[in-house]
Structure 1
Amino acid sequence: MRDETHSDEPADTTGGTRAPSRRAVIGWGGAGLALGAAVAGTTAVALRGTDGTESAGSAGAAVPFHGAHQAGIATAVPDRLHFAAFDVTAKDRAGLIQLLKDWTAAAALMTEGRAVGEGAFGGLPEAPPDDTGEAVGLRPSRLTLTIGFGPSLFTAEGDRFGLAGRRPEALVDLPKFPGDNLDPARSGGDLCVQACADDPQVAVHAIRNLARIGFGRIAIRWSQLGFGKTSSTTPDAQTPRNLFGFKDGTRNVAGTDTAALDRHVWVSPEAGPDWMAGGSYLVARRIAMRIETWDRTSLKEQEDVFGRDKGEGAAVGKAREHDEPFLKSMLPTSHVRLAHPDSNGGARMLRRGYSYTDGTDGLGRLDAGLFFLAYQHDVREAFIPVQRALSRADALNEYIQHVGSAVFAVPPGVRDKDDWWGRELFS
């Protein structure tokens, strides 16, 4: 992130009203005011294309923040993740709206590789800096920031945000699936922000600054760091592998497949509600892997569990990874057979999962697994039926357990510099 030249009145590059300087913030009492003014400086190099769905491009480049859809869904998947779920502590609708405006302004700056507000240093010595500073000098690293609204935001006590009648029918509470062992401390949330970047420090910096900007209006409920993407939206690239060593995401929806995105990922205007048109629904699941048990399992059994060979990634009886699988040649309990669209009425999801490791569990076993992220046009038609099928019969269940869960409505993109995250919801 660059640190720009400082002045009492930052230059307005947002296209809207000018955000207050730090001195003005202090003069007005400080808390809760906008920090998102862009200051003069060099604009980061942006990826070319429509809605950010092109190939990965340079690892240092910036992904366009504005567009019909939020970046971080169909855009190329960077290598690192910092995902955070928040509870809203703002007392009223006006406080929540101002939070979303402040976050949008800061997100637009950070995805360009620019500092928040007046930057990390050089300002008023008696006040905390506007930016935490750990990304100074780093490139944008394809940072994307994607926001979602959880069911609890619409059912807040006393409907303090006036949203009870605006909850989409598709934003359902996920049922309890067989084998779930969900930790409430790692589940749910009023809001979520998904930060993806090629540099982990850039992703962490983004979440840290949003949490700091929201102080007094939100509190972090839980968060998750991820590495080693386990799915890709760029099928021409090498398919990544999960911690079990198998290729993951061979049949994932491509970010350039407009027809598949319209059918399976984006909410259509006809499906409603109006404020969700062009958005999507996100399911986040923390899936613990029993690494040590898996590592003592024979290669044949591992391949039978998945229904693919471990080297090439080809389906049973096929030679190459992308050869169309013949499902009946697989065991009826194989993961690929049970998860395949042909076994689930054609249901597909766009997956953007990441591996995670969080040390050990106190018994010398790795606390590691998959942080599953999947976008779809309706969880009732995609994730829920597929997960029901998997939870009943998948041989992989012997080696995994779902321990965290959340679902969010992800609104459409920020159209221009006068727009802000979720504006249509409050119209």
Structure 2
Amino acid sequence: MSSHPNDAELRANSTRQGLSRRKLFGAAGVGAAVVGAAGAGALAGRATAAQPVGHLDTAVPFRGEHQAGIVTEAQDRMHFATFDVTTNSRDDVIKMLADWTEMAERMTQGREAFPGGATGQNPYSPPTDTGEALGLPPSQLTLTIGFGPSFFVKDGVDRFRIADKKPAQLVDLPKFPNEKIDPARSGGDIVVQACANDPQVAVHAIRNLARIGFGTVAVRYSQLGFGRTSSTTREQSTPRNLFGFKDGTANLRSDETDKLNRFVWVGEGDGPAWLTGGSYLVARRIRMRIEQWDRTTLLEQERVIGRQKGTGAPMGQSDEFDELNFSLKDKKDKPLIDEVAHVRLASKENLGGIEILRRGYNFTDGSDGFGHLDAGLFFIAFVRDPVTQFIPMQNALSRKDALNEYITPTSSALFACPPGIREGDTSTFWGSTLFD
């Protein structure tokens, strides 16, 4: 365990002892800023408490061998937020992570961030829960945390005495061709991915974590997503992206245990022990040139993707789930799946067997001021090793993919996600083994 004299005490003195007035008053402005990012349009169509409760409204277990929100059945909405740590105090970071863990478990169960938080506290103090999720079901809310390279060492400084626990694979992603990365919307010390079937539930979760983190962290950037662009279980149908094509047909599924162990979960000996059972999260905001795509012929769209738009079947075949067959040719002896088609270049056959678990979402963020939609794909993937999986894949796609004519990545980040908190373990919290 850590030799720091206050670590054990900090873990015990979590939110059960209450929040300081400084945190509560200061957090009010943070909550407003986070919710402001949502916008009225993004919240349209949210579920209501009057809807019949089905499995889409139920609670996902917070505890387990792995964090929820990775192989969990992909929900319909997402609020993704990254945070910069604004203090050099190890003690404050430990306490915040302990507070966040307690809050996260409650909120994923459909409860307030703190007991009686919105209505049962001192009326002369700010409520300890913002209240907009009162009466709403859990909506399969999952909260997944990760730590960026700068959490361990920032500007050469080991702020929290954890530099020796930084995984070798946790590095800033290299610059790839065909991208215009905005540094203000990239990176981050900490990430929290909130996924739910009700956008208000997801926004509520991030809002309350941000407000309680006031004074320790500040929101760096956030992104709302709708309409999942992948399936993580066989029961889910394949969704479509904003180009109108089925997306994620060949994605890994939650029941493919051997593949998940090979491509998603960090194994023993892969790096520092604290990350065993965890994963790496890759996030990329990809702007789609919607108007240009909409003026493109169907034949060209299908050539670029390598699948039929209607059925999702590979070119030259009839079923969405038919195996890719790169040997099929047309009457002019040209490959039916083009040499630079997206599905060919992204396939495991082209990448030496590499696979990843995708978990992305569509986004629309208004217009760009020039009459064009600011819309696209917020790409999220979980991998066992980003250096040997994602970077080679992106190198192949960024140099040859025909889809590059219609897309531009605008943000990029990589985070190490610790394993889950096991049932009955009350002594640990998100990332606690980093401070042992």
TM-score between both structures, scaled by the size of structure 1:
0.88
Q: Deviation string for 1:399-423 (max 9, x for gaps)?
A: 0000011000011011233321011
1:113 equivalenced with 2:110 (yes/no):
yes
1:422 equivalenced with 2:421 (yes/no):
no
C-alpha change, 1:18 and 1:396, in structure 2 (3 Å) is: closer
Contact 2:232 2:254 in 1 (8 A): yes
Contact 1:16 1:417 in 2 (8 A): no
- Partner in structure 2 of residue 215 of structure 1: 214
Q: Deviation string for 1:301-328 (max 9, x for gaps)?
A: 0000000000110111111000101124
Compute the displacement of 1:21 (Å). 5.2
- Partner in structure 2 of residue 396 of structure 1: 403
Distance in 2 of aligned mates of 1:381 and 1:61: 37
Amino acid at match of 2:154: A
What is the number of residues matched between the two proteins? 386
- Partner in structure 2 of residue 181 of structure 1: 180
Instruction: Quote the RMSD (CA, aligned, Å).
Output: 1.7
- Partner in structure 1 of residue 363 of structure 2: 356
1:89 equivalenced with 2:86 (yes/no):
yes
Contact 2:140 2:196 in 1 (8 A): yes
* Unmatched tracts of structure 1, length 5 or more: 1-14, 33-56
Compute the displacement of 1:154 (Å). 1.2
Compute the displacement of 1:76 (Å). 0.4
Amino acid at match of 2:172: D
- Partner in structure 1 of residue 232 of structure 2: 233
Moved more, 138-147 or 313-322: 313-322
Contact 2:15 2:99 in 1 (8 A): no
Q: How does 1:156-305 map to 2 (within 5 A)?
A: 156-157=154-155, 158-305=157-304
Compute the displacement of 1:272 (Å). 2.1
Distance in 1 of aligned mates of 2:23 and 2:376: 39
- Match among 372, 385, 392 for residue 379 of structure 2: 372
The percentage of counterpart residues that share the same residue type is: 58
Provide the secondary structure at the position in 2 that maps to 1:211: helix
- Partner in structure 2 of residue 144 of structure 1: 142
Distance in 2 of aligned mates of 1:311 and 1:380: 35
Q: Deviation string for 1:53-85 (max 9, x for gaps)?
A: xxxx71110000001100000110000000000
- Partner in structure 2 of residue 67 of structure 1: 64
- Match among 62, 68, 74 for residue 77 of structure 1: 74
- Partner in structure 2 of residue 48 of structure 1: none
Compute the displacement of 1:17 (Å). 7.0
Distance in 1 of aligned mates of 2:282 and 2:255: 22
Distance in 1 of aligned mates of 2:201 and 2:318: 40
Amino acid at match of 2:304: V
Distance in 2 of aligned mates of 1:71 and 1:326: 35
* Unmatched tracts of structure 2, length 5 or more: 1-10, 25-53, 328-334
Contact 2:14 2:99 in 1 (8 A): no
Compute the displacement of 1:156 (Å). 2.3
Amino acid at match of 1:279: G
Distance in 2 of aligned mates of 1:154 and 1:350: 25
- Flag as ranges the 4+ runs of structure 1 deviating above 6 A: 15-18
Contact 1:289 1:401 in 2 (8 A): yes
Amino acid at match of 2:148: G
Amino acid at match of 1:380: V
Distance in 2 of aligned mates of 1:76 and 1:121: 33
1:20 equivalenced with 2:16 (yes/no):
yes
Compute the displacement of 1:365 (Å). 0.6
Amino acid at match of 1:346: G
Distance in 2 of aligned mates of 1:130 and 1:249: 40
- Partner in structure 1 of residue 96 of structure 2: 99
Moved more, 85-94 or 206-215: 85-94
C-alpha change, 1:113 and 1:334, in structure 2 (3 Å) is: same
Q: How does 1:342-353 map to 2 (within 5 A)?
A: 342-353=349-360
Q: Deviation string for 1:318-351 (max 9, x for gaps)?
A: 1100010112431111000000011111111100
Compute the displacement of 1:163 (Å). 1.7
Q: Deviation string for 1:250-287 (max 9, x for gaps)?
A: 01000111111101000001212101000000100000
Distance in 2 of aligned mates of 1:327 and 1:426: 50
Q: Deviation string for 1:65-124 (max 9, x for gaps)?
A: 001100000110000000000000122211111111010000000000001223101310
Distance in 2 of aligned mates of 1:172 and 1:324: 34
- Partner in structure 1 of residue 341 of structure 2: 334
Contact 1:356 1:368 in 2 (8 A): yes
